[in-house]
């Protein structure tokens, strides 16, 4: 597709939108301007291609298609069947999976679907409706106890949030931590690395039905062969949530024992992070689990988003190219460059480095909380998110870490030199930020003062790199 075609397609689309609600057209234009001008280092974000984005803006959005391919609760789903079949075929072939389910609307939907599917496959007995429960939000701890009992008191073991796991991996306030008896594994307190022996010991003692592997903020690769051995030893189903690193699996950066697909019974994912597709989720499974995953609707999901499934198909097709493999390798190489950039400037990283797309900076050595660091960086146009570090003394709200990711800026064309400069800019901001005090004169975890002129100097230097690596080059809105 040529630049002028894309430019005129978007310009005209915005005109159509403006004819109904000009403020939405304006906000959409502004979002492009803002994204172009920001140094996006959020590890879970990316920039999907115009083909992926355009695929979402069609009449497929209008179609209801609850059910499965060829077996829908609505008439007239023949084209949705085509789209869903192509998306699933690409996903199977891209990841070498026996089965793929592309209906989940997001990563959380995919995980919830997977949990219910595993329960359906593994546990016999009464289900939710038999627990005498009406409103899930009103459940007391005793009600949850009853629900868990009605599910046969099943157990889930996942990585703890502060070690880098996700809310849906058994975090107590999340549904995953309520429907199961949950337990969490962490990382070695000295190295910050996964300790497979400690995990095995915990799994032997806890005997989970489901062992969840995968992470949101762990800057290292996982050995899924070892994870499967642990799961097998205790009779658990191995579920891997590859939401964050699906792009590195698709791009063949994670191969062998680092590729979860041959080892896990069920793999869940998002399509919008390192995989660079539309916002959405999907599940890969062995044949054994496929029939229960297929019951995602009506068990957990409603009507699939057909327009997004179509965009997933386009993104999967893109991810099957050698070009995408080159991109994925650069994402990992760039993370190393960023980590080295931090280390050579004396900053402290969780695990001492990275071998995926994530770098987790411990900002306590700058005397700051994650909250202060995140805000000061944003003042200088550096978009990140604060994150807990293992055994975080500041808890999950203020935190002591900043998570960086390379997928988005790699899409823009950033390489080693740019990421080294990014490290320099970040260190410049953080070493010139002073923590504030509360009204009572106590040290504050939220307020801070950024030194004079720092934001301007950093913004200027990042603008040079952003201008040299434009987002959607050639796309000009009229
Ligand atoms: N799983 C992991 C590991 C994630 O990091 C995330 C999101 O950050 C999710 C699931 C949830 O994805 P979504 O926001 O699409 O629901």
Interatomic CA distance for residues 416 and 330, integer angstroms = 9
Interatomic CA distance for residues 143 and 178, integer angstroms = 10
Interatomic CA distance for residues 186 and 143, integer angstroms = 29
Letter string b/e over residues 249-270, b meaning 16 or more CB atoms within 10 A of that residue's CB: bbbebbeebbbbbebbbbbbbb
The domain spans of the chain are: 60-319, 322-468
Interatomic CA distance for residues 422 and 414, integer angstroms = 10
DSSP H helices, 221-277, are: 224-234, 246-250
Q: What is the dihedral of CA 437, 440, 441, 442, to 10 degrees?
A: -70
Q: Say if residue 94's pLDDT is above 70.
A: yes
Cβ 44 under 6 angstroms from ligand 1: yes
How far, in Å, are 169, 201, 263, 374, 428 from residue 421 at the CA level? 35, 43, 38, 18, 10
Cβ 241 under 6 angstroms from ligand 1: yes
Cβ 243 under 6 angstroms from ligand 1: yes
How far is the centre of ligand 1, averaged over its atoms, from the C-alpha of 250 (Å)? 17
Nearby residues of 72 by Cβ (< 8 Å), 6 or more positions away: 65, 66, 80, 81
Cβ 270 under 6 angstroms from ligand 1: yes
Q: What values do phi and psi take at 279, rounded to 5? A: -65, 125
Q: Say if residue 430's pLDDT is above 60.
A: yes
Task: Give residue 127's pLDDT.
Answer: 46
Question: Which of ligand 1's atoms lies nearest the C-alpha of 111?
Answer: 10
Tell me whether the omega of the peptide bond preceding residue 298 falls within 30 degrees of 0, making it cis: yes
How far is the centre of ligand 1, averaged over its atoms, from the C-alpha of 269 (Å)? 8
Task: Give residue 211's pLDDT.
Answer: 98
The best mutation among 105, 270, 300, 301 to test binding of ligand 1, ranked by most ligand atoms within 8 Å of the C-beta, falls on 270
How far is the centre of ligand 1, averaged over its atoms, from the C-alpha of 241 (Å)? 9
Task: Give residue 137's pLDDT.
Answer: 56
Geometric angle at alpha carbon 124, from 118 and 130, rounded to 5°: 100
Q: Read off the pLDDT of residues 10-55 as tens digits, 9 standing for 90 and up.
A: 999 999 999 999 999 999 999 999 999 999 999 999 999 999 999 9
Task: Provide the 3-class DSSP secondary structure of residue 66.
Answer: coil
Q: Read off the pLDDT of residues 296-325 as tens digits, 9 standing for 90 and up.
A: 988 888 899 999 999 999 999 999 999 999
How far is the centre of ligand 1, averaged over its atoms, from the C-alpha of 107 (Å)? 5
How far is the centre of ligand 1, averaged over its atoms, from the C-alpha of 458 (Å)? 31
How far is the centre of ligand 1, averaged over its atoms, from the C-alpha of 373 (Å)? 23
DSSP-derived pairing of the beta strands 348-349 and 358-362 = antiparallel
Q: Say if residue 135's pLDDT is above 90.
A: no
The best mutation among 103, 108, 213, 217 to test binding of ligand 1, ranked by most ligand atoms within 8 Å of the C-beta, falls on 108
Pick the CATH number of 322-468 from 3.40.50.720, 3.90.1150.10, 3.40.50.880, 3.40.50.150: 3.90.1150.10
How far is the centre of ligand 1, averaged over its atoms, from the C-alpha of 223 (Å)? 20
How far is the centre of ligand 1, averaged over its atoms, from the C-alpha of 214 (Å)? 10
Q: Are 424 and 465 in contact (CB under 8 A)?
A: no
Task: Give residue 124's pLDDT.
Answer: 58
Q: Closest residue (by CA) to atom 13 of ligand 1?
A: 107
Interatomic CA distance for residues 221 and 88, integer angstroms = 26
Q: Closest residue (by CA) to atom 7 of ligand 1?
A: 107
- In CATH, what number does 60-319 get? 3.40.640.10
How far is the centre of ligand 1, averaged over its atoms, from the C-alpha of 379 (Å)? 26
Number of helices and strands in the chain (H, E)? 19, 17
The best mutation among 243, 277, 305 to test binding of ligand 1, ranked by most ligand atoms within 8 Å of the C-beta, falls on 243
Average pLDDT over residues 446-459: 97
Tokens representing residue 157 in the block: 């073991």
Q: Say if residue 129's pLDDT is above 70.
A: no
Cβ 216 under 6 angstroms from ligand 1: yes
Tell me the pTM.
Answer: 0.93
Interatomic CA distance for residues 418 and 420, integer angstroms = 5
How far, in Å, are 181, 318, 333, 366, 424 from residue 346 at the CA level? 42, 39, 20, 10, 11
Average pLDDT over residues 280-302: 93
Interatomic CA distance for residues 21 and 441, integer angstroms = 48
DSSP H helices, 345-469, are: 370-379, 395-398, 407-412, 416-431, 454-468
How far is the centre of ligand 1, averaged over its atoms, from the C-alpha of 243 (Å)? 6
The per-residue pLDDT of the chain, averaged, comes to 94
């Amino acid at each position: 597709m040529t630049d002028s075609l894309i430019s005129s397609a978007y310009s005209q689309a915005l005109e159509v939108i403006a004819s109904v609600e000009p403020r939405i057209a304006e906000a959409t234009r502004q979002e492009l301007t803002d994204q172009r001008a920001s140094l996006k280092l959020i590890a879970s974000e990316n920039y999907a291609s115009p083909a992926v984005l355009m695929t979402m803006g069609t009449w497929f959005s209008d179609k209801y298609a609850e059910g499965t391919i060829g077996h829908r609760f609505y008439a007239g789903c023949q084209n949705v069947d085509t789209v869903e079949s192509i998306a699933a075929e690409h996903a199977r072939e891209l990841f070498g999976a026996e089965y793929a389910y592309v209906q989940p609307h997001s990563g959380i939907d995919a995980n919830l679907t997977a949990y219910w599917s595993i329960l359906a496959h593994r546990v016999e007995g009464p289900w939710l409706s038999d627990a005498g429960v009406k409103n899930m939000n009103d459940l007391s701890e005793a009600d949850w106890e009853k629900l868990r009992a009605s599910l046969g008191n099943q157990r889930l073991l996942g990585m703890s949030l502060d070690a880098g796991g996700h809310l849906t991996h058994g975090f107590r306030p999340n549904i995953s931590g309520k429907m199961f008896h949950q337990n969490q594994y962490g990382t070695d307190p000295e190295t910050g690395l996964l300790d497979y022996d400690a995990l095995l010991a915990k799994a032997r003692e806890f005997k989970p039905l489901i062992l969840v592997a995968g992470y949101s903020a762990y800057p290292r690769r996982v050995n899924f062969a070892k994870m499967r051995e642990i799961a097998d030893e205790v009779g658990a189903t191995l579920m891997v949530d590859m939401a964050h690193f699906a792009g590195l699996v698709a791009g063949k950066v994670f191969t062998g024992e680092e590729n979860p697909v041959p080892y896990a019974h069920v793999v869940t994912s998002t399509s919008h992070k390192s995989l660079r597709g539309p916002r959405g989720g999907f599940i890969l499974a062995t044949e054994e689990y496929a029939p229960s995953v297929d019951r995602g609707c009506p068990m957990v999901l409603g009507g699939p988003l057909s327009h997004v499934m179509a965009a997933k198909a386009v993104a999967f097709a893109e991810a099957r190219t050698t070009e995408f493999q080159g991109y994925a390798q650069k994402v990992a190489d760039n993370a190393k460059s960023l980590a080295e950039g931090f280390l050579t400037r004396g900053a402290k990283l969780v695990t001492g480095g990275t071998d995926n797309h994530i770098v987790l900076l411990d900002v306590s050595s700058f005397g700051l909380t994650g909250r202060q660091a995140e805000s000061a960086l944003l003042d200088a146009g550096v978009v990140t998110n604060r994150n807990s570090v293992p055994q975080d003394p500041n808890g999950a709200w203020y935190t002591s870490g900043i998570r960086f990711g390379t997928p988005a800026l790699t899409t823009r064309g950033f390489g080693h030199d740019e990421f080294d400069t990014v490290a320099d800019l970040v260190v410049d901001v953080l070493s010139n930020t002073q923590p504030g005090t509360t009204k009572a004169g106590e040290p504050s975890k939220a307020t801070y003062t950024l030194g004079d002129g720092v934001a301007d100097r950093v913004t200027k230097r990042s603008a040079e790199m952003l201008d040299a690596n434009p987002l959607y080059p050639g796309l000009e809105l009229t």
